[in-house]
Chain A
Amino acid sequence: MSDQADMLSPDGEANVIDTEYEVGQDNIQASIGPFGLDIHNPVFMISGLTIVAFVFLTLAFQEAAGPFFNDLRGTITSIFDWFFLSAANVFVILCLVLIVTPLGKVRLGGTEAVPEYSYSGWFAMLFAAGMGIGLMFYGVSEPISHFSSSFAEGAGSPDSWAPLAGAAGDQTEAQRLGMAATIFHWGLHPWAIYAVVALALALFSYNKGLPLTIRSIFYPIFGERVWGWTGHIIDTLAVFATLFGLATSLGFGAEQANAGLEFLFGWTVTDTSKVFLIIGITAVALISVVAGLDAGVKRLSEINMVLAALLLLFVTIVGPTGEIIRGFFANLGAYAEYLPSLSNPFGRADDNFRQGWTAFYWAWWISWSPFVGMFIARVSRGRTVREFITCVLIIPSLVSVFWMTAFGGTAISQIVNDGYTAVSDASLELKLFVMLDQLPLAQITSFLGIVLVIVFFVTSSDSGSLVIDTITAGGKVDAPVPQRVFWACFEGLVAIALLLGGGLGALQAAAVSTGLPFTLILLLACYAIVKGLITEPR
C-alpha cells in the first residue's frame, strides 16, 4: 500500500472515495457584527430565507394554505400509498438482509475503529431522537383507535377506519388486531427508515471520507455533481424537512403539554401560556445545545431514558402486570401474524386505514429521517453494520412493542374489563393522563408524563439544531456556536409564529409532503449502501 493510500485510510482498512472536494471549500467564513460565521454557500442562505418567506406566506394566506396543503397531503397519501408501503418494505428487507449477510461485518469508521459511546448512552440518544414524543401521545390513543374501529359493527365496510377487514363484534380479535396495527406503525418499518438514512450517512462519512451531510449519500449516483446544485437542492430539502418537522412538533407539543397541565393543575390554556411553553422549551434546548453533544444532548437523553423507563415500569407494576407481560408475547405474535397482510401494498380494501394511517405515518417518518438519520450517524462511529442495525432496528422495535402493550393494553383493559369509557372519550392529547388517572399515584405519574413530554421536546430541538447546523455548514461539525444558537431560536420563532397565526396543521402537511421526494431519495440510498458496503473490507 502506498503512503498516500495509507494516510487516507480511517482506523484500519476502509475503502475511501477519492474526490477532489474538500470539506468546507464552499463555505463562507465571515462575521456578522461580533459573531463569527462558517456557513455553506448557498445552502444556508437559501434555506434560511425560504423558510422565512414560507412562514410569511403561510401566515398571510393561511385560509388558502391550510386546505391546499391538507389536500396535497391527502392526494399524496391516497395516490402513492402503494409506493410508500412498498418502499418501507424494501427498507425493512434490506436491513434484515444486512444483519445476516457478511456485509454486516463491515465496521463504520474502518476495521479497527472503536465505538465512541457506551451502549446505554448511544441507545438513549438514538431512541430519544427517533420517537420519544410520539410514544407519549400515541401510546394510549392509537391502540384504542384501532381497537374501537376494528370492534365496531361496520368494521370492514368502505367507510370503516379499521385495519384490514376489522373484527366486528369479536373483542379478543379486535384487541389483537388493534395492537398489531399500532405496533406495525411503531415497529420495524419506521426504524428501518431511520436505519437506512443513518447507515448511508455513517458509511459515506466515516468509511468513504465524504462530509457528514445528506448529499454525500448520492456520490455513487451523481458523482462529483453532488458538490454542485444537485447537492445544494438535496441538502436544502433536508433542512426544510427538519426545520418544519421540528417547528410543527414544537407547536403541537406546546399545545399538548399545556393540555396536560390544565388537566393536572387547572392551568387555563391560552396563547400566552403556549408561547411561554415554547420559549421555555427553546431556552432549555439552548442550554443543552451550548453545553454540547456530550454534556447536553447525551445527558438529557439519558435522563429521558431513565424517566421513560420509570413510567413504563410503574404502569407495568401497578397496572395489570400479568396481562401486560402475557400481552407482550401475545402482541409480538399478533404483530408477526398480521405483518404480511398489513404491509401488503396491493389489493386491499381498507383504504381509510392504509392511506390515512399507514401511508401518512410512513410519509411522516420519512420526512423526519434526514434529521434522525443524521443524528444517529453522528453518534454511531465504530459500530459494525450488524450491531448498528440490531440496535437501531430490532431493540427499539421490541421497546415499542412493550411500550404499546403497557400503555395501550392497560387502556384497552380499562375499557373492556372495567367499562371505563373516559379514556376513549378523552381528546387525543389527554388520553395518556386520563389513563394514568385510573392508576394509583396519578398526580405523580401525570406530572412525570408532562416532564417527559417536555424533555423529549428539548432533546428533539437540541439534536435538530445540531443537525441543521451541520448541514448548513457543509458537513463541518466545528462551526461557531452562535450558529446552532441561531437555529435553535429560529425553530422556536417559527413555532410561535405558526401557533399564533394558525397554520401549524398546514405546515405539518407540508412537511409530510416532503416525504414523497424523500422516499425516492431513500430508495436511491439503499442502492448506494449496498454498492458502498460491497467495496468495504470486512
Chain B
Amino acid sequence: MYKKIMVPVDLAHADRLDKALTTAADLSRHYEIPVCYVGITATTPGPVAHTPKEFQSKLDAFVKDEAAKRGIDASSLTKISHDPSIDLDETLLSALNETGADLVVMASHVPGVPEHIFASNAGYLASHAPVSVLVVR
C-alpha cells in the first residue's frame, strides 16, 4: 500500500516525539517499508548543533539508534533552511519530494488560538502534500 514513510523530527525536542516515532515504526513493520527521518537546521549554530555537519551526524546517530531499537529499515535526511521559523513548511515539502516517501507521520501539538494566525507545520503539510499525512497528537 505504501512504499516509504517520512518522519520529520525536531532533535531539540526528541523527548516529545515518542508517540509519533512508535506509530511510524509500527507502520513500517506492518507494511515492511523503510522510514526516512528528516531533520531541518539553520546554518547558524543552534541548540542541537554548531554546524549543519554536526547536526547531520547527530541525526545519523539518532536514526541508527531508532533502527536498532525498533528493528526497522531507517535512513536520514538533513535539510538546511535560511529562516527555519518561516520556511519549515516548504522545506518539509521539498524533503518529501527528495525522499520519495508516500506517507508522512509527524507529531503535532494541541492546536490553540495561534493556529488561526500562523498555520501549524503539520496542518500545512496535510493540506499541501500530495501524499497521506498522519498527524500524531
Contact = CB atoms under 8 A, between A and B. Distances in A.
Contact of A475 (B43, B45, B54): B45
B114 A477 contact: no
A109 B53 CA distance: 11
Main secondary structure of the interface of A (DSSP, over half): loop
Interface stretch (A2-10, A71-79, A228-236, A440-448): A2-10
Given A291-B86, A477-B85, A209 B51 contact: yes
Interface string A262-303: 000000000000000000000000000011111100000000
Interface in A1-56: 7-11, 16, 22-25, 33-36
Contact of A22 (B47, B53, B112): B47
A479 B85 contact: yes
Contacts of A205: 44-45
Contacts of A209: 45, 50-51
Contact of A9 (B42, B51, B118): B51
A24 B86 contact: no
A478 B82 contact: no
B46 interface: yes
Nearest to B43: A381
Interface in B50-86: 50-54, 57-58, 82-86
B123 to A, nearest CB: 15
B87 interface: yes
27 contacts: A7-B53, A7-B57, A7-B58, A8-B50, A10-B50, A10-B53, A11-B53, A16-B51, A23-B46, A109-B51, A110-B51, A110-B53, A205-B45, A206-B43, A206-B44, A210-B45, A211-B44, A290-B86, A292-B86, A292-B87, A293-B83, A293-B87, A294-B82, A378-B44, A475-B44, A477-B83, A482-B118
Give 9 nearest A-B pairs by CB, closest first: A292-B86, A209-B50, A34-B113, A293-B83, A10-B51, A478-B84, A24-B47, A292-B83, A212-B44
Given A9-B53, A378-B44, 19 more contacts: A8-B54, A9-B54, A10-B50, A23-B47, A23-B50, A34-B113, A34-B114, A35-B114, A206-B44, A209-B51, A211-B44, A292-B83, A292-B87, A295-B86, A477-B42, A478-B85, A481-B86, A482-B114, A482-B118
Interface of A: 7-11, 16, 22-25, 33-36, 109-110, 116, 205-206, 209-212, 290-295, 378, 381, 475-482, 484
